[in-house]
Structure 1
């Protein structure tokens, strides 16, 4: 049985499509997990690590007004991170992740709250997670959710 990352790399390769990431709480873990798969270089364009809020705007193009009004942990931020990854890296698909790994809340948002966004041609989807557990558990669940979201779109 292959891993989710292996399945995604295989399916993207089969389709001749590419993916890029803009990651906050996962700090590159999605991209790193994908690139552990042999052959990933054919489908992974790159990733933006936008851990700091100001970098979400500066590097990924998240609207500053959205960040000012809602904070960094919001579904619209995840969607804009995904679109920013897609356009800035020149990929078919973009994944954006933002959330609170814990142990403390951020801007009133409780630990374990995560938003995953996916952007593609004519596609803009976000998913909210509420994950229990420590930082590692929250981050791992976020990676899984990102892979699931992309996998659903690929068929």
Structure 2
């Protein structure tokens, strides 16, 4: 089984902006329950379908497959719940780990969040100075929940 181990944090300041290039991501949810989510994502000129299981702490099962870009665009436009999640993702290497900083747009505008994937739930992490409060355990910050309850409505 594929397992995703991920910690999420709010981002403070703008020091991170010059550290990585941004890429537009658009994603939507075909199914979203407490037990599983099924997501379609377009990242630049590539597309993916991802199935995630229920979270257990900072870990959960995850299966991701590349799919044809045209199919993903059709699914986003015709099958996914609204609103779609739109964000610019910046990939930043720091202290041997890859951080992904998401600057949300649309109905989640104003939210900037960073996540880091780990090899083990107990792996130690050196936090960059632009990392703020940890929100890994707060389900409001799951992308699937941001699609149901956008940040601007909080």
Check whether TM > 0.5: no
Length-normalised TM-score, structure 2: 0.27
Please identify which structure carries the higher helix content: 1
Greater RCO, CA 8 A, separation 6+: 2
